Amino acid sequence: MPDSAAQPSGPRSQGPLAGLLVADFSRILAGPYATMLLADLGAEVVKVESPAGDDTRSWQPPVADGISTYYLGVNRNKRSVALDLKDPTDLAAAQELARRADIMVENFRPGGLARFGLDYDSVAAGNPGVVYASISGFGSAPAGAVLPGYDLIVQAISGLMSLTGNPDGEPFRAGISVFDVMAGLHATIGVLSAVHARAETGRGQHVEVSLLGSALSGMVNQSSAYVAGGVVPMRMGNSHPSLFPYEPMACADGDLIITAGNNGQFRKLVEVLGVPELADDPRFARNEDRTANRDLLRPLLVARLMTRTKMEWFEDIIAAGVPCGPINTVDGGVAFAEQVGLDPVVRAEGDPDGVPSVRNPIRLSETPPDYRRPPPALDEHGAEIRAWLSGGTDD
C-alpha cells in the first residue's frame, strides 16, 4: 500500500475519502475538476504546478479579487506547490510525492512524464499500490497520443458540434467545456473503482480516460443512433429527435421549455392549455405521432401559449405535473437553485468573507463534502510541502 500514513499538517476532513493522499499533476479543467471532487470528499490533494502556474490562472476575465474565476472554479480544497521538473531537487520532491501518494492524476500528453520518471510504470515500481489516472484527448495508442486534447477540438471531432445549432445554420460549440467535465467525472469514477479494487487486492492500477471516449459515451442516444441504428443524427436546433414537445415554445413574453415526455404528460399539458381534444387526435395521440407531426402540433400549442406570460404558464403547467422551465441566464439559474433549497453557493470554512464557489452537487447523509480551503495561491504551501517531503514535518 502507498506510504500515506503521514500527510501534511492542516485541517483534516471527516469525509469518506479522508486519509487518501492525491498527487495532482493535472492542469486546466478535466484533471483539476476530478481532483477537486476528490478533495471535497475528504482526500488530501497536493496540486503540483510549474513555476508559471496552472494555465487557468491567466485565463481572465472574469476575475474575483484579481484571480481568474476559471481557476477558482476547480481548485478549492487543495494545497499548491510549484515544482520545476527540470530542476533535480524539485524533481526529487515530485517523485517522492508520487511515491507516497494513494492516487496520482495527470493530464500530460501520453508519455510526457516518462522522461521525469513520473509515468505509471516508473511510479508503480516504487509504489505498487498507486491508483494512477491519466486523462488525455484521444488515448495512449500511437495514433491518438500525438494529438492535442482540447475540449473544443473534441467537440468538433466527436460530432457534437454537428448536433448543436439550427438545422440550416453553422455548427456550434457547447456553452461549456462539456467533455473536459465529462472526462473529469469519468476519471473520478475510475479512480474510486480502482481504490475499491485495491482494498481487495492490495494492488493499484492505471486508470485511463480520454476526452473522445467520454464524448462518444456522453452523447448517449445520439451516438447510439449511429452505432446501433446506422442513423447519422444531425442538428435540429432546440428540437429533440425522439420526443415532442421537448423544446422552447413561445409565450406572450418569451420562451418556456416544455418537456412532455410521455402520453400522460401530454394529456395533462393540453388540458392546462385548454385544448384537451388534442390528446385524442390520432395525429398526436402517441409520442411517435407527435414527433412525426411536430410541425402540425407546434402551432396549435403556441397559439394557446401566446395568450399568457411564460411565468404564468410555468406555474400552471408545473402544478399539473408537466415538466417545464424558463430559460434563465446563469444568475437566474443560481437564484432558482437557492429558491428550491439547494444552497448552491459555499465559502471555505473559517473564511466567511472569502471568494464563494459552487457547492459540490453530491449529498451524503453521513459524510458530506466539506470546504476546508479556498483555491490556493501559486506555491502557497510550497515550503511546508517541500519540508514534509524531505521528512522534516511528518505528523
**CATH code of residue 281:** 3.30.1540.10
Q: Is residue 241 part of a domain?
A: no
The yes-or-no verdict on residue 394 having pLDDT over 50 is no
**What tens digit of pLDDT does each residue of 14-48 get?**
899 999 999 999 999 999 999 999 999 999 999 99
For the four alpha carbons of 79, 139, 183 and 193, in that order, the dihedral sign comes to negative
Cβ neighbors of 299 (< 8 A, separation 6 or more) are none
The yes-or-no verdict on residue 381 having pLDDT over 90 is yes
**What tens digit of pLDDT does each residue of 213-250 get?**
999 999 999 999 999 999 999 999 999 999 999 999 99
Q: Is residue 192 part of a domain?
A: yes
Give residue 311's identity as a one-letter amino acid code: M
Do 149 and 76 lie in a common domain? yes
**What tens digit of pLDDT does each residue of 146-171 get?**
999 999 999 999 999 999 999 999 99
Residue closest to 336 by CA, chosen among 257, 270, 268: 257
pLDDT confidence of residue 14: 87
Domain tally, the chain: 2
pLDDT confidence of residue 11: 65
Across the chain, the runs of DSSP E, i.e. the strands, are 21-25, 44-49, 63-64, 67-68, 78-82, 103-106, 131-136, 205-210, 246-251, 254-259, 324-326, 345-346, 357-358
**CATH code of residue 75:** 3.40.50.10540
pLDDT confidence of residue 4: 42
Mean pLDDT of 276-305: 97
Q: Is residue 147 part of a domain?
A: yes
The yes-or-no verdict on residue 128 having pLDDT over 60 is yes
User: Is 102 a residue of the active site?
Assistant: no
Do 129 and 112 lie in a common domain? yes
**What tens digit of pLDDT does each residue of 331-344 get?**
999 999 999 999 99
**Do 371 and 358 contact (CB within 8 A), yes or no?**
no
Catalytic residue among 90, 151, 180, 370: 180
